[in-house]
Amino acid sequence: MPPRKLSDLPLGVRVIRGVYYWEPSTAAERAARKARGKPIAVRLAKVGDETAMRTKWAELMGHREPPVPSAGTVAEILDRYERDELHAINSRGLPKRKPTTIVGYCYSLKVLRERLGAREYARNEVEASRGGKLRTMDIQRFLREATAQTMANRHIAVLSDAFRYAKLCGLTEYNPCLGAERHKEYPRDREVLDDEIEDLLAHADGVLRLMIRFVLITGWRVKDIRDLTTFQVTDAGIRVRQSKRGRRQLWQWSPELRAILSEAEELRGALRARGATKRRSIDEQVVFCTRLGRAFTREGFNTVWGRLREKVNAARLANGKPGIQDLHFHDLRARASDDAEDAGQDRARFLGNDPSVAHRHYARRVTKLRPLK
């Protein structure tokens, strides 16, 4: 049975939809976990299993020492890399890697620990040639057996960087990732068509519709849109420092941009008027907020976007039209860049990318030709 009172729960633990979750009690702790790529809210156990909940909570609080990886294993290198290198700061006191990059690295480290963590690493090529240690052929097998080839490339890139750091630390002189042939990657070329945009806007509700309109005129990345706050909104326009490239931009006002921001403000006011957030207060800093008044998480936004695609496809199939296949929200950024170039703007400057990256990954509009007869 769950505790009779909320005060009986350990510090930071609360119940959400029949599940115990733990969350840091201070904003500084939440920001620190987010910067390290760790989830802010951690699932502990289902309501009714209080023993499991308190055990997991004790581990999070550091009351139980985590198991120490065996010396000489890949897990030793991965743990040392994550602890001492991944979150290291440079001479200016800024993280060497962006928070979004660190999140991806932490996920790869988790996968690598599960698959290769127990393997022993060789300290040099001679030791590797004797067998029994992690070798290049094992890395090649990891890549060949992967179902998600691009993600497997990312995992091996992280592992190679971890071995690079291990060499600096004097743990090994042998990197098994060197010489392994990775999968060939191709830039995404999905073009968003006019009728698809019309159907998306027709079936999208509330804040998601505003976010679609916003990306179509700005080409922002979805993370920058989710994290947009009212503090960035000024009389001169909207200021942004890109989450990926770190480039600073000032987006000047246009009639459509003003209309989107005004409608977003009305939505936040409607949430307060309906009292939809009695348990949580509206965060007035977030421009495109959820029904609970908070910024969308990556997983939460992907869920909402997936539901919209299902809704649009059902309507299109009912009208005898083909469904929308393999459409990502990020593809709308490419559509905006094509529209910007058609309007005479520089694609790379509009996106905040290097010219080579902008043209390789975001130039997707097909060339229109006429038949001879």
Q: Is 169 helix (H, G, I), strand (E, B) or coil?
A: coil
R_g of the chain computed on alpha carbons: 24
Q: Which of 158, 175, 154 is nearest to 85 (CA)?
A: 158
Largest alpha-carbon pair distance within the chain? Answer: 81
Strands 19-22 and 42-46: antiparallel
Match 């308190």 to its residue by tokens.
54
- The pLDDT assigned to 122 comes to 92
Phi-psi region of 37 (alpha: psi -120 to 50; beta: other; left: phi over 0): left
Residues facing residue 14 across a β-bridge: 21
* Residues 220-274: tens digit of each pLDDT: 999 999 999 988 999 999 999 988 878 899 999 999 999 999 999 888 777 766 6
Residues facing residue 19 across a β-bridge: 16, 46
DSSP tally for the chain: helices H, then strands E: 15, 5
Q: Is pLDDT at 301 greater than 80 in this prediction?
A: yes
Domain ranges of the chain: 6-60, 74-168, 194-258+294-362
- The pLDDT assigned to 304 comes to 93
Average pLDDT over residues 71-83: 89
Question: Which tokens hold the place of 293?
Answer: 């008044």
Average pLDDT over residues 32-53: 78
Q: Is pLDDT at 3 greater than 50 in this prediction?
A: no
Integer angstrom CA distances of residue 237 from 216, 249, 258, 260 = 17, 10, 9, 13
- The pLDDT assigned to 1 comes to 43
pTM value is: 0.68
Exposed e or buried b per residue across 153-185, where buried means at least 16 C-beta atoms within 10 angstroms of its C-beta: bbbbebbbbbbebbeeeebbebbbbeebebeee
Single-letter amino acid code for the residue at 317: L
**What letter does residue 8 receive in the DSSP assignment?**
G
Give the residue with greater pLDDT, 62 vs 363. Answer: 363
Mean pLDDT taken over the chain: 85
* Residues 153-202: tens digit of each pLDDT: 999 999 999 999 999 989 999 999 999 999 998 888 899 999 999 999 99
Fold entry, domain 194-258+294-362: hpI Integrase; Chain A (1.10.443)
* Residues 341-368: tens digit of each pLDDT: 999 999 999 999 888 888 888 988 888 8
- DSSP-derived secondary structure for 84-146: IIIT-B-TTSSBSS-HHHHHHHHHHHHHHHHHHTTSBBPSSHHHHHTSSSB-HHHHHHHHHH-
Q: Is pLDDT at 45 greater than 70 in this prediction?
A: yes
- The pLDDT assigned to 328 comes to 92
- State how far the Cα of 347 lies from the Cα of 365, in Å rounded to an integer: 13
* Residues 271-297: tens digit of each pLDDT: 766 665 444 455 558 899 888 778 888
Integer angstrom CA distances of residue 43 from 15, 17, 29, 190, 278 = 10, 12, 17, 36, 23
- The pLDDT assigned to 62 comes to 62
Q: Is pLDDT at 65 greater than 60 in this prediction?
A: no
Give the residue with greater pLDDT, 6 vs 137. Answer: 137
